[in-house]
Amino acid sequence: MAGPALAALLCLGHFPSLTITLVGLVTVFAGYTAVYALNDLMDLRTDRERVHIDSFSVTEKQMDPDGVLTRHPLAKGVLNFKAGLIWTCGWALIAVIGAFWLNPVCLLIFMAGCLLEAFYCKLWRITPLRTLINGLVKTLGALAAVFAVQPSPDTGFLLLLFLWLFFWEIGGQNIPNDWADIHEDRQLQARTIPIYFGLQKAGILSITVLTAALVFHLGLLWASPLPFGPLFMLAALALNLILLLIPALNMVKHRHPSSAMALFNKASYYPLATLALVLLRIAI
């Protein structure tokens, strides 16, 4: 949820009205909850196969933020399919109402995200290029947030926002997550980037796109109506190094699932850390 929040703040340079803020937060939460639940519904058969392959040690599983709560509740029988479908449709309905109220464009973006997520799930055993769809889906919440607060946003700003989140997702989330799951994914005949291209090329790709994310991150801050001075730019540079590039280099160096999960975990806090930086700039 940090991504859409900081996208709206960077677009405006200040907080939107209280009503838009509250409706936006509820809509973002509902939208993301619905999309992630849709992922579990679409991947139910695959997830059932996955739960029978316990390739992680207990320590490594505890390192995964997805493991804080029950992961794949449908596949594990914690939740039945009917309950999962009701849960998904309920949150989707809230998201549809909120998105339409904010801006009908937001509704179109949410619907596109659901369709792309379903398509993404079906490509797991077909092509590693599905990561491009995943990168696109992860940008949609932030793009919708911009349209929620600015009906006619600047095209250049939207492009910078899209490229920043797109490259962050691929290099900091998708590749390291698949790297950490490589042993079970091989048994399940998945077509992921680490399996298809090998760890060396996957690592180089991760570092390359995260470097691009750094460039677009700084460009996005520069393009915002909220002025960021040299100290804030240096702080943004430090966030990219600490949360993305240094962990990515360690992943390539050690080539261990735990190193990949370390990158995934730190990269997960990257939008939140950027949001904190933006809030600090607004406060002073």
The answer on pLDDT for 43 being more than 90 is: no
* Residue pair 194/178 in contact by the 8 Å Cβ criterion: yes
Confidence at residue 189, expressed as pLDDT on a 0 to 100 scale: 85
Confidence at residue 238, expressed as pLDDT on a 0 to 100 scale: 98
The answer on pLDDT for 55 being more than 80 is: no
Q: What percent of the chain has pLDDT over 90?
A: 77
In tens, the pLDDT along 116-128 reads 999 988 888 899 9
What are the CA-CA distances from residue 37 to residues 26, 69, 214, 262 (Å)?
16, 14, 30, 25
**Per-residue pLDDT band at 62 (split at 50, 70, 90):** very low
Residues in the chain: 284
In terms of residue numbers, what domain contains 211? 2-283
Q: What is the mean pLDDT of residues 183-205?
A: 92
Name the least confident of 29-43, 49-63, 146-160, 223-237.
49-63
Confidence at residue 186, expressed as pLDDT on a 0 to 100 scale: 87
**CATH code for the domain of 138:** 1.10.600
**Per-residue pLDDT band at 137 (split at 50, 70, 90):** very high
The answer on pLDDT for 50 being more than 80 is: no
| Number of structural domains the chain divides into | 1
* Contacts of residue 29, Cβ cutoff 8 Å, sequence gap at least 6: 1
The answer on pLDDT for 148 being more than 60 is: yes
DSSP class of 70? -
